[in-house]
Amino acid sequence: MNQDTLAGDWKQLKGKLRQRWGKLTNDDLDVIAGKRDELIGKIQEKYGEAREEVERQVRELEDSHDSKWDDVATDSGMPGGTEPVR
């Protein structure tokens, strides 16, 4: 399943993210805005951890928070990653 955008209470989860990864700033989290790939990339950038390890840690946090990720692509914001018709 392509899980890219957080569904649920982002404000509540932001607190848990700051507890787990204290180097993430409020500005970082505002830019991430619930996008899973953005979150993983920012954690990698701040902590220098391998993507697979960060994904595992995010899954653990997700499971403990009982939150789920929607199927909205981060690249365009459109379902399925399609670009809007121009």
**Cα 14 to chain centroid, rounded:** 10
pLDDT, greater one: 42 or 2:
42
- Read off the pLDDT of residues 27-75 as tens digits, 9 standing for 90 and up: 999 999 889 999 999 999 999 999 999 999 999 988 887 655 543 333 4
Label residue 79 by pLDDT band (50, 70, 90): very low
What is the distance between the alpha carbons of residues 85 and 76, in angstroms, rounded to a whole number? 12
| Average pLDDT, integer, range 10-33 | 90
Rounded-to-10 torsion of CA 7, 39, 79, 2: -90
